[in-house]
Structures are given as C-alpha cells and as structure tokens.
Amino acid sequence: MEITLADGQKLVAFARNNIEYYLKTKKNIDIPNDIRNKYADKAGAFVTLNKYPKRDNALRGCIGYILPYYPLWETISKVSLSAALDDPRFPPVKLSEMDHLVVEVSVLTVPEEISVEKPEDYEQHIKIGRDGLIITRGWRRGLLLPQVPIEYGRNWDVFTFLGHTCMKAGLQPEAWRDIKKTKVERFTAIIFEEESPRGKVVQKKIGE
C-alpha cells in the first residue's frame, strides 16, 4: 500500500477526530465514506499520543496491531481509541488533555523473521531508524517502533535496541542471544505526526 503525505494527514486527522468524538459523546464516530473507500486495504498500524512539547517521558498512550488483520481505516479507528483509553501504562485520556497532545500514526509493513547463525549477526540485518523490532519467546512478545531508538536524544545501537525490545516482552535483556528460543522480526513503518496539537501534519523522517 502506497501512503503519501496527503494520506498521512487524513489518517492523523481521522485518528484525532475519532478520539475526540468518543470522549465528547461516548459514541463511535460515523466513518466517512472517503476514509472507508480509500483505506480499505488491510494493514497493521499504531497510534501514539505524546505530550506537547515532546520531552523525555512524553508518551501518553500507544497501541496498535502488528499484523494486517483489518482494513487500515478500521485499524486506525480501533487503535486510536485504545491508545487513548486502554493503554495499561496510563489512565484514560481526558478530553481536555487533547489540547496538549500530539497524534502520531505509524503504518506498518508485514514483519519478517530474521534468521542468523550467531546472535552477533543481527547487527548486519537491523538498521537503526529504519527497522522496528518484534521479539517473541513462548507467549511473551514485545514490539518497539523504528523511531524509539533515536527519539529524545537516544542513540541506541542494534544490541541496545534488541535488549530493550526483550525487556518490552518481559524477558531478560540478553534473551535475544538465544537464537533457538527467541524469535526476532523486523518491520518498517511510514510515520506521520502533528508538529503541535491540531497543527501541521508531517511525515516523520528517521534514520537519515
């Protein structure tokens, strides 16, 4: 699916409107036909809410679907509300907070497993700023988006990124080294965000 800046602007506006309408009415918004028709292809996506201005600990909510279970419009509809209301790390967002939050939408490619002969080889297959990671071991799974290793002044290398993704899965940070028991997948994302609350929507440039 090709996603342009104009698409990103529509999707971010839709995510914000979806959240604010529900917070005002406790009802789901009627999905505009142009949104339903244009974004009917299935795709995974995340919606992230950040406090503005963005500093350390700016995150206010982030929920998404890794795999393309639903049409993109439906994915955004579901995960935008979940990011605002159901992120277990935070209390539900209040309507008044939306004046101080920026909305970010990440549209994901389908993850692909990385196969290596020894754990150090992951460095050759993962590019910081381009790739997001998913780590799975048994029933535990953790995901970090491509922007995480470089936001807020972070300067993670590949192995630090792997370690933090393991911790997101509830694993020890060195669990990625056990290549027989721990599955590592990568994906990319096209990311759009508001520059300020309800402000201009831009495509996020990372890893350049």
Per residue in 122-174, pLDDT (tens digit) is: 999 999 999 999 999 999 999 999 999 998 788 899 999 999 999 999 999 99
* Domain 112-187 of CATH type 3.30.1490.150: yes
Cross-strand bridge partners of residue 143: 134
Please tell me the pTM assigned to this model: 0.86
Q: What is the mean pLDDT of residues 9-29?
A: 97
Q: What is the pLDDT of residue 54?
A: 76
For residue 1 the two structure tokens come to 């699916």
Task: Find, among 183, 114, 185, 192, the residue nearest to 147 by Cα.
Answer: 192
- For residue 205, pLDDT beyond 80: no
Q: Cis omega (within 30 of 0) on the bond before 91?
A: no
Which residues belong to CATH 3.30.700.20 in the chain? Answer: 5-109+189-203
CB 187 within 8 A of CB 197: no
| Helices and strands in the chain, H and E counts | 4, 9
- For residue 177, pLDDT beyond 70: yes
Which residues belong to CATH 3.30.1490.150 in the chain? Answer: 112-187
Q: What is the mean pLDDT of residues 90-94?
A: 97
Q: In degrees to the nearest 10, what's the CA dihedral of 27, 33, 39, 43?
A: 30
Q: What is the mean pLDDT of residues 182-197?
A: 96
Task: Find, among 35, 40, 28, 34, the residue nearest to 78 by Cα.
Answer: 28
User: Per the CATH hierarchy, to which homologous superfamily does domain 5-109+189-203 belong?
Assistant: Hypothetical protein ph0010; domain 1 (3.30.700.20)
Helix (H, G, I), strand (E, B) or coil at 140: strand
User: How many angstroms separate the CA atoms of 174 and 156, rounded?
Assistant: 15
Task: Find, among 59, 105, 57, the residue nearest to 204 by Cα.
Answer: 105
Q: How many CB atoms are closer than 10 A to CB 84?
A: 29
Q: Which amino acid would we find at residue 101?
A: L
- For residue 208, pLDDT beyond 70: no
Q: What is the pLDDT of residue 207?
A: 55
